Each structure stands twice: as structure tokens, then as C-alpha cells.
Amino acid sequence: MKKILAVTFISIIFIKTGAQKKDFVVTIKTNYGEMIAILYDETPKHKQNFIKLAKEHYFDSLLFHRVIQNFMIQGGDPNSKKAKSGESLGNGGPGYTIDAEFNSKLFHKKGALAAARLGDGQNPTKASSGSQFYIVQGKIIPQAQINSLRIDQAKLNSTLSKFISKSENKSIYDTLSKLYGTGKTDAFNNKIISLADQVEKETGVKILKDISQEKIKAYTTVGGTPHLDDGYTVFGEVIKGLDVIDKIAAVKTAPGDRPTEDIRMFVSIKEMSKKKIKKEYGYIYPVSSIKK
């Protein structure tokens, strides 16, 4: 995910909200409508930082400066507030980063709110930008491609070449070469996915990961971007206004993925009881977060 400055993490004093009866509701207003979001208690540093910036009106009038249909919409660059038409954006921030807060239960389903960051080469700890974030649109994974959600891509990549170099697998090598050469990307990827079980058995390398039914259901019904899981911190989700994501993702963009028209955001925070949030928006909290 394209991102911004590589400064050290600034310490943030945060409030543990997991057992509290109240929570904060985020409203992101745009000229395409409103998105209502919840921030996760499981990512306290990101949650408290976002609340702090929103209360300071940091995000107000910033642009969704990077939009890719069937992928995500990204904003939070302070340089975008007064940016001229066509100006390159994506490198601004508050001057600090936030430690990654990965959680296997939090993933990139449609509507997920996640932190942008610099690439691994400049940022091996995967620290998040202090202000830039993206909201996932993604796409639905067909039932026939469920195996793709379970594949450890790094391990598959490292073992596939050894697998197809065997003489007994020459026909598989020829098929992959033909698909790659004809530019049939989807067919090529689907063929590799279909080989996962066989590669795992022949090489002894565990390629298929365990995955929860919750993830499978989300990615095969509402969709998302599963390839970003465990690489970027997911710290919230849109609970109302998913259609607004679709509207913004569909706008015309210039080279560099910046919309040709400015799409500004205005972010506000409201404290509400968790019971009221559940009643008004239908959001179901984990049992542990509403015990007390």
C-alpha cells in the first residue's frame, strides 16, 4: 500500500476500551455520502490515534487521493488539503508512525479500515502511517477459488519452481508456460492455486494455512482483498455506507490513481453506548467487549 514518511513511532497514551460500555462512532462525510465506522479495541494504538486526529479535525477537507476500483480508496495525506490539480500525493503525514498491530481475527473484508504504510524495503517492521488510511472495496472470491484464501503465497512461490522442474511434472510446466505466454492471467493464477495440494504433498512444505469460516464467508459473500492480510494493520470497519465506497471507487482517475475530481472527507467522532450502536447500526460486538 503506497505510503508515507519513515519516522520513528511516537508514543501514544491510549485508553483501554475493551470492557467499557461506550464506544466511539466515526462518521466520514464525502460528496458521495456518509460512511459510519467502528474502530477496533484490539488495535488500541491505531484506535486512539485516529480518535485524537479526528477530534483535532486533522482529516477535515483532506482528499481521497488514491482510488483503485475493486481494491480500495485511500486518504489522510495532509498535503492533499491544498493540493493543485494533478499534483502527486501520498507522502504526507503527522511526523510519526504507529507500531503494527496485526490480529488474525481482523482482516481485509469489504469495508475494512486499515492503515497505509511504506513498503517492506523501507519499513521492515510494517509500521503504519500516522494518518493515511484506506477503506477496502475488493471483490468477491468465487467458491471455486476458496483455496486461494488458504495459500501461503511466499511458501508456494519458493517451492513451485522446484516442483515444476521435475521431469514428471513437465506437462504442468508446459501448461503454465502456455497460459503465461498468452496473457491469460486469471487462468494462470487459477492453475497455480489448483496445484497447491499437489505441491504440498510432493515437497513436504506446508503451503495451505488454516483459515476461519468467518473469513471464508466474508470473502465469498461481501468480498475483500485477502492478499493484504497480515501485511497491513486493520483497525476498524465501515458498518453503514458500503455503497459510498463503491461510488467513490468508480470515479474517473488520472495516472497515479488520483481522482480527476477532488473527493474531500470530513471526519467526526461521537461517543455512544455499545447497546445503542448495536441497535442503531446492527453492529455486533465480541462478547468480551460488553461484559462489564
pLDDT digits 0-9 by tens, 131-164: 999 999 999 998 877 777 888 777 888 888 888 8
Residue 64: what are its φ and ψ, rounded to 5°?
A: -80, 95
Q: How many residues does the chain have?
A: 292
* Torsional class of 6: left (φ above 0), alpha (ψ -120 to 50), beta (otherwise): beta
Domain at 22-140+221-286, CATH from 1.10.3720.10, 3.30.1490.20, 2.40.100.10, 3.40.50.970: 2.40.100.10
Question: What is residue 196's predicted lDDT score, i.e. its pLDDT?
Answer: 83
In SS3 terms, 27-87 reads as EEEECCEEEEEEECCCCHHHHHHHHHHHHCCCCCCEEEEEEECCCEEEECCHHHCCCCCCC
Q: At what angle do helices 196-203 and 185-194 cross, to 10 degrees?
A: 40
What average pLDDT is seen over the chain? 89
pLDDT exceeds cutoff 80 at 3? no
User: Using one digit for the tens of pLDDT, what is the confidence trace for 78-106?
Assistant: 999 999 999 999 999 999 999 999 999 99
Burial of 242 (0-12, 13-18, 19+ CB in 10 A): middle
Question: What is residue 105's predicted lDDT score, i.e. its pLDDT?
Answer: 93
d(CA 113, CA 33): 17
Which runs of consecutive H residues, i.e. helices, occur in 142-221?
Answer: 147-150, 153-164, 170-181, 185-194, 196-203, 213-221
Which part of the chain has CATH 2.40.100.10? 22-140+221-286
pLDDT exceeds cutoff 80 at 45? yes
pLDDT exceeds cutoff 50 at 165? yes
d(CA 147, CA 197): 9
**Does pTM surpass 0.85?**
no
For cell 511504506, what's the residue? 118
Mean pLDDT over 214-220 rounds to 94
pLDDT exceeds cutoff 60 at 289? no
For cell 485477502, what's the residue? 226
Task: Quote the radius of gyration of the chain (alpha carbons, Å).
Answer: 21
Tell which residue, 279, 290, 199, 274, has the closest CA to residue 38. Answer: 274
Q: 286 versus 88: which is more confidently predicted? A: 88
Tell which residue, 50, 58, 123, has the closest CA to residue 92. Answer: 58
